[in-house]
């Protein structure tokens, strides 16, 4: 398995993925027709409200949730569905996840040393004890914690520090890909900036591909190169982050943009809420499709809506 | 603010906790006023003492905490029946007036002053808490009782505090549920909290807070646990209810983005002190304290793509120790030498705007605020398509 990265080849591909669960004996699809690519060194932001299925997609990538249709391809290899033990290990070594809630994602009864080293211990990613120690110390220093913290327990740390531990635990595997599931929504504003910078720095050094899941577009705008907006399990718009802010097409994207609180009392006084409800679409006859309306700007709309969108941005 | 009368006055407040034999000073010399119908936002990081401050206002300090100095005066316009009242005027005068003509005095409806810091036990507090000063907590997941029906939790408040019969209380509770935007309130009345989404639970919490028609509503980070779209809805709801019910709001948050929408005035807190306060225009367009600068520039909305987001290094100081000089100095990139030695003075910038910093001293070097927060209004106008469209409305 080669670890050489081709920058122009997608690192991760989702192809028409559908994820569902059994609910009271009945199958219910939670995520439908989800396709996107992530390139090395790129961050894709997944934005949507709670219950929209963004975390489900993230969890499907690291194989916590099964895919029911379509496939997920990582470095040219299928990683969804049934895999050999060797391939599963390949996924675990190269794709890591940072969880949302630093309060509940760390084992309360384990020391930081154990929490951080669990991954490399499982797969014996070191030659000898010295190397193991070195790897742990490096990873903990990288995220701005101290070696003396290793013998402590999670409850001795603040929220921001706990999230750093979660990040150290992911980065120690030297992954090629990270799924960051709302890593900052439980943190204070000033600490948010520290965590965002930390992830961005690491990405610059290593060509890491990342999916950044959030419900807040302002955070995603800052960190992501491209943004996918999800509404009830379906990607409704996908574009470069600048493009999405300049030319939001789908009404749901517009409502998300309108709900970003701007630090400007003058503007906020004039603020109007844009409320989105799916009943505003008329999809009875004219069936919608996920279409590339402008270069690299995709939107889920029917023919009539596409015409409207084009007209709106003709000038 | 012409001659508006404050409804709540906090003067030189100190709050201390005793933790394992050591004394921690959580609030250090805080003074502010809350006026009628206004929204005052208190902004700061976790550990800055903003939650302790609100708990003090509600008399809900933990048993190891106490008010060690200063006072809190609450001016109520409602009948005070059995609460001990301190009149701001000459008390002897008042008494003689009462004897002479009790009816005339009633007509005047001079607001009564209550000194909250004099309260000794829960019984006294309960006449204020929930009734005149109500609170919305941060986490709607934990502030409702999971074992009781939603409707009961609202009706209970009305039944106990306002002494209505259960049937009337129920009718009132359904009315309140409708008011806060719960669809089909008659049906949802019998639901349990787990059947509600986060945003709806927060609406219920708001309904409970409003059940007794309070004069002051304290919102302790009411939207941090919610999605952005829901956050906007809840903030709009609180605002429209304020117009309808005419209460004052103390809004606690760490997010300066949210404050711009809500607040008339803003107080920025750091390690138990108010370091800057002013109208929201003062704070956003002309911030003077380096801590306010830092809080503003660390907002992702103001970050520039590809550049590092500004972050405040280090952590707030330990409150067990006496703080020498400016508490923010060790984390302050603009700190002067004197910041480490002597406490900065409170400098008046305008009638509404004060800041606690040496930078405003005439001997201090002239500093520009960080580039990230210059031309804030233009930047925000160009933030997204939506904000540009707002500009077109002018």
Would you state the pLDDT for residue B274?
Answer: 93
Q: Which residue has the higher pLDDT, B102 or B80?
A: B80
Q: A39: closest CA among A14, A9, A74, A62?
A: A9
Q: Is residue A182 predicted with pLDDT exceeding 60?
A: yes
Q: Is the pLDDT of residue A271 over 80?
A: no
- Chain A contact for B376, CB < 8 A? yes
Distance CA B30, CA B43 (A): 14
Sheet holding A77-78, edge to edge: A26-38, A12-23, A69-74, A77-78
Asked whether residue A179 carries a pLDDT value surpassing 90, the answer given is yes
* Alpha-carbon distances, residue A234 vs A56, A151, B159, B367, B372 (angstroms): 12, 44, 46, 50, 36
Q: Kindly state whether residue A215 falls inside one of the protein's structural domains.
A: yes
State residue B144 phi and psi, 5-degree precision.
-110, 150
Helices (H), B138-289: 150-162, 166-179, 185-188, 198-210, 228-245, 256-262, 280-285
A256 to B228: CB separation less than 8 angstroms, yes or no? yes
How does pLDDT run across B118-143, given as a tens digit for each residue? Answer: 887 888 888 888 888 999 987 777 88
What does pTM read for this prediction?
0.85
Tell me the C-alpha distance between A132 and A169, whole Å: 13
Could you tell me the two tokens for A59?
Answer: 């969890």
Give the one of B230, B235, B383 whose C-beta lies nearest to A262's C-beta: B383
Residue A2 domain flag: no
- In the three-class reduction of DSSP (H, G, I as helix; E, B as strand; rest coil), residue B25 is classed as strand
CB-CB neighbors (< 8 A) of B233 in chain A: 273
Return the bridge partners of A211, or none: A44, A179
Please state the domain count of chain A.
1
Residue A242: inside a domain? yes
Question: Residue A166: inside a domain, yes or no?
Answer: yes
Interchain CB contact of B280 with A (< 8 Å) = yes
* B317: DSSP letter: P
Contacts of A51 in chain B (CB under 8 A): 197
Structure confidence at residue A15 (pLDDT): 92
Cβ neighbours around A101 below 10 Å, total: 16
The rounded distance, in Å, linking the Cα atoms of A124 and B283 is: 54
Number of C-beta neighbours around residue B157 at 10 A: 23
Residue A5's pLDDT is 58
B383 touches A: beta carbon within 8 Å: yes
Nearest CA distance, A45 vs chain B (angstrom): 14
- With cut-offs at 50, 70 and 90, classify the pLDDT of residue B1: very low
* Interface contact A245-B232, CB threshold 8 A: no
Percent of chain A scored above 90 by pLDDT? 45
Could you tell me the two tokens for A101?
Answer: 């809630």
By CB neighbour count within 10 A (0-12 exposed, 13-18 middle, 19+ buried), where does B97 fall? middle
What six digits make up the tokens of A308? 């409207």
Q: Report pLDDT for B173.
A: 93
By C-alpha distance, the chain A residue nearest B384 is A245
Among B246, B248, B240, B223, smallest CA distance to B40 is for B248
Whether B221 has a pLDDT exceeding 70, the answer reads yes
Residues of chain B found within 8 Å of residue A215, distances taken between Cβ atoms: 227-228
Minimum-distance CB partner of A190 among B45, B381, B390: B45
Does A6 fall in a domain? no
Which chain A residue is nearest to residue B316, measuring alpha carbons? A190
Given a contact cutoff of 8 angstroms between Cβ atoms, the answer to whether B354 and B268 are in contact is: no
Across the interface, of A216, A263, A273, the residue whose CB is closest to B260 is: A263
Q: Is B126 exposed, middle or buried (0-12, 13-18, 19+ CB in 10 A)?
A: middle
Instruction: Please indicate whether, in this complex, the C-beta atoms of A248 and B311 are within 8 angstroms of each other.
Output: no
Handedness of CA A40, A43, A49, A55 (dihedral sign): positive
Weakest-pLDDT range from A185-194, B191-200, B294-303: A185-194
- Provide the 3-class DSSP secondary structure of residue A305: helix
Residue A107 lies in a domain: yes
Nearest chain B Cα distance for residue A197, angstroms: 6
- Out of B294, B295, B377, the one facing A264 most closely (by C-beta) is B377
Q: CA of B283 to nearest chain A CA: how many angstroms apart? A: 10
Q: Is the dihedral of CA B65, B66, B67, B69 positive or negative?
A: negative
Tokens of B17: 């906790």
In a domain, A3, yes or no: no
Task: Tell me: pLDDT of A155 over 70.
Answer: yes
Nearest to B154 by CA among B199, B195, B129, B190: B190
Checking if the pLDDT of B107 tops 50, the result is no
Q: Which of A197, A216, A262 sits opposite B308 (nearest CB)?
A: A197
Instruction: Dig out the tokens for B293 from the structure.
Output: 């600068």
Rounded distance between C-alpha atoms, residue B235 and residue A173, angstroms: 42
DSSP A232: T
Per-residue pLDDT, A117: 93
Domain that holds residue A175: 12-312
Interface check for B369 against chain A (CB to CB < 8 A): the answer is: no
- Measured between beta carbons, which residues in chain B are less than 8 angstroms from residue A242? 305
Radius of gyration from C-alpha coordinates of chain A? 21
Which of B141, B229, B305, B372 best tests the A interface by mutation, with the highest count of A CBs <10 A?
Answer: B229
pLDDT beyond 50 at B96: no
CA distances from B255 to B41, B158, B172, B299, B318 (A): 10, 33, 34, 8, 22
* CATH number for A131: 3.40.50.300
pLDDT (tens digit per residue) in B348-383: 999 999 999 888 888 888 888 888 888 888 888 888
Chain-chain contact of B386 with A254 (C-beta, under 8 angstroms) = yes
CB distance B332 to B326 below 8 Å: yes
Task: Determine whether the interchain pair A193/B311 forms a contact, defined as Cβ–Cβ distance below 8 Å.
Answer: yes
Output the six-digit token pair for B339.
């910041």
First to last CA, chain B: 26
Which has the closest alpha carbon to B269: B26, B82, B76, B84?
A: B26
Contact indicator for B259, B253 with CB cutoff of 8 Å: yes
Q: How many CB atoms lie within 10 A of CB A158?
A: 15
- The answer on pLDDT for B102 being more than 70 is no
What's the length of chain B?
Answer: 394
What pLDDT, on a 0 to 100 scale, did the predictor assign at position A180? 93
Closest to A211 measured CA to CA, from A91, A69, A61: A61
Flag whether pLDDT at B91 surpasses 80. no
Give kind and range of the element (H or E) at residue B274: strand B273-279
On the question of pLDDT at B320 being above 50, the answer is yes
**B173 contact partners, CB below 8 Å, separation of at least 6:** B151, B154, B155, B158, B189, B207, B211
Q: Which residues of B325-335 are buried (b: 16+ CB within 10 A; e: fewer)?
A: bbbbbebbebb
- The pLDDT tens digits for A98-112 are 988 887 889 999 999
> Does A7 reside within a domain?
no
Q: What residues are paired with B268 via a beta bridge?
A: B43, B276
Is pLDDT above 50 for B99? no
Q: Which has more confidence, B85 or A72? A: A72
Token digits for B184? 């089909």
Facing residues of B75 across strands?
Answer: B113
A159, A242, A263 ranked by CB distance to B257: nearest: A263
Spatial separation of the C-alpha atoms in residues B134 and B123, rounded to whole Å: 16
**Chain A residue with the nearest C-alpha to that of B284:** A264
Under 8 Å between Cβ of B266 and B281: no
d(CA B40, CA B262): 8
Asked if A245 and A47 touch (Cβ cutoff 8 Å), the reply is no
CA nearest to A204 within chain B: B306
Is B228 in the A-facing interface, judged by CB distances under 8 Å? yes
Q: Which of A193, A248, A271 sits opposite B261 (nearest CB)?
A: A271
Q: What is the pLDDT of residue B376?
A: 85
Q: What is the pLDDT of residues A5-58, one digit of tens each?
A: 567 889 999 999 999 988 888 998 999 999 999 999 999 999 988 888 888 999
pLDDT at B106 over 70: no
Quick one: pLDDT at residue A2?
44
CA-nearest of B327, B224, B343 to B272 is B327
Asked whether the beta carbons of A299 and A236 are under 8 A apart, the reply is yes
- Contact between A70 and A16 (Cβ < 8 Å): yes
- Integer CA distances (angstroms), A269 to A120, B42, B202, B219, in order: 53, 19, 23, 20
B48 touches chain A (CB under 8 A): no
- Give residues with Cβ within 8 angstroms of B265, minimum separation 6: B38, B39, B40, B41, B277, B278, B279, B280, B352
Confidence of residue B98 (pLDDT cuts 50, 70, 90): very low
* Contact assignment for B256 to A263 by CB distance below 8 Å: yes
Mutation target vs B (from A263, A266, A270; most B CBs, 10 A cutoff):
A263
Name the strands in the sheet holding A43-47, side by side, starting at the edge strand that comes first in the sequence: A95-98, A177-181, A209-214, A43-47, A226-231, A234-240, A297-301, A289-294
CA–CA gap between residue A298 and residue A230 (Å, rounded): 12
Mean pLDDT of chain A: 89
Tokens of B129: 């808490």
């Amino acid at each position: 398995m080669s670890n050489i990265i081709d920058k122009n080849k997608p690192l991760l591909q989702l192809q028409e993925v559908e994820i569902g669960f059994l609910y009271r004996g009945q199958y219910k699809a939670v995520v439908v027709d989800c396709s996107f690519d992530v390139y090395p060194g790129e961050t894709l932001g997944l934005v949507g409200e709670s219950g929209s299925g963004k975390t489900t997609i993230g969890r499907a990538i690291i194989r916590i949730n099964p895919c029911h249709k379509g496939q997920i391809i990582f470095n040219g290899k299928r990683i969804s569905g049934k895999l050999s033990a060797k391939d599963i290990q390949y996924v675990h070594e190269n794709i890591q996840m940072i969880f949302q809630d630093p309060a509940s994602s760390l084992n309360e009864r384990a020391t930081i040393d154990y929490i951080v080293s669990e991954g490399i211990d499982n797969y014996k990613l070191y030659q000898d004890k010295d190397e193991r120690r070195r790897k742990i110390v490096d990873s903990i220093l990288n995220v701005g914690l101290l070696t003396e913290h290793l013998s402590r327990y999670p409850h001795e740390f603040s929220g921001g520090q706990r999230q750093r531990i979660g990040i150290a635990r992911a980065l120690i595997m030297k992954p090629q890909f990270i799924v960051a599931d709302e890593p900052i929504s439980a943190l204070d504003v000033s600490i948010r900036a520290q965590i965002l910078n930390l992830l961005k720095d690491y990405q610059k050094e290593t060509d890491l591909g990342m999916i950044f899941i959030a419900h807040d577009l302002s955070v995603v705008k800052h960190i992501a190169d491209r943004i996918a907006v999800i509404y009830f399990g379906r990607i409704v718009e996908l574009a470069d982050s600048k493009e999405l802010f300049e030319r939001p097409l789908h009404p749901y994207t517009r409502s998300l943009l309108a709900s970003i609180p701007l630090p400007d009392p003058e503007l906020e006084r004039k603020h109007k809420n844009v409320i989105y409800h799916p009943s505003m679409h008329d999809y009875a006859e004219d069936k919608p499709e996920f279409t590339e309306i402008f270069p690299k700007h995709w939107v889920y709309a029917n023919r009539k809506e596409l015409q409207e969108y084009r007209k709106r941005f003709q000038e | 603010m012409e001659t508006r009368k404050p409804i709540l006055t906090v003067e030189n407040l100190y709050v201390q906790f005793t933790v394992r034999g050591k004394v921690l000073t959580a609030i250090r010399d805080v003074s502010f006023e809350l006026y009628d119908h206004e929204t005052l936002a208190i902004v700061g990081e976790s550990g800055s003492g903003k939650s302790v401050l609100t708990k003090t206002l509600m008399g809900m300090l933990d048993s190891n905490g106490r008010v060690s100095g200063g006072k809190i005066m609450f001016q109520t316009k409602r009948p005070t029946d059995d609460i001990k009242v301190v009149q701001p005027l000459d008390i002897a005068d008042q008494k003689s007036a009462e004897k002479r003509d009790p009816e005339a005095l009633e007509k005047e409806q001079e607001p009564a002053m209550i000194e909250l810091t004099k309260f000794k036990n829960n019984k006294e507090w309960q006449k204020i808490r929930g009734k005149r000063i109500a609170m919305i907590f941060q986490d709607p997941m934990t502030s409702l009782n999971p074992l009781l029906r939603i409707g009961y939790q609202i009706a209970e408040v009305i039944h106990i505090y306002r002494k209505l019969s259960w049937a009337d209380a129920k009718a009132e509770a359904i009315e309140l549920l409708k008011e806060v935007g719960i669809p089909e309130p008659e049906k949802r009345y019998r639901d349990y909290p787990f059947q509600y989404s986060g945003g709806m639970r927060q609406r219920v919490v708001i309904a409970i807070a409003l059940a007794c028609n309070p004069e002051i509503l304290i919102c302790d980070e009411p939207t941090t646990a919610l999605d952005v779209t829901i956050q906007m809805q809840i903030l709009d709801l609180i605002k429209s209810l304020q117009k309808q019910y005419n209460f004052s709001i103390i809004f606690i948050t760490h997010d300066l983005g949210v404050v711009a929408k809500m607040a008339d005035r803003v107080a920025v807190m750091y390690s138990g002190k108010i370091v800057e306060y002013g109208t929201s225009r003062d704070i956003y367009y002309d911030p003077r304290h380096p801590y306010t600068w830092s809080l503003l520039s660390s907002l992702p909305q103001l970050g520039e793509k590809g550049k590092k987001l500004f972050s405040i290094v280090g952590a707030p100081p330990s409150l067990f120790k006496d703080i020498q000089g400016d508490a923010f100095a060790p984390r302050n990139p603009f700190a002067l030498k004197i910041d480490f030695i002597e406490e900065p003075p409170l400098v008046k910038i305008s009638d509404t705007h004060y800041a606690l910093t040496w930078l405003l001293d005439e001997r201090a070097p002239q500093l520009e605020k960080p580039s990230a927060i210059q031309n804030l209004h233009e930047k925000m106008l160009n933030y997204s398509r939506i904000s540009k469209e707002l500009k077109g409305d002018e």
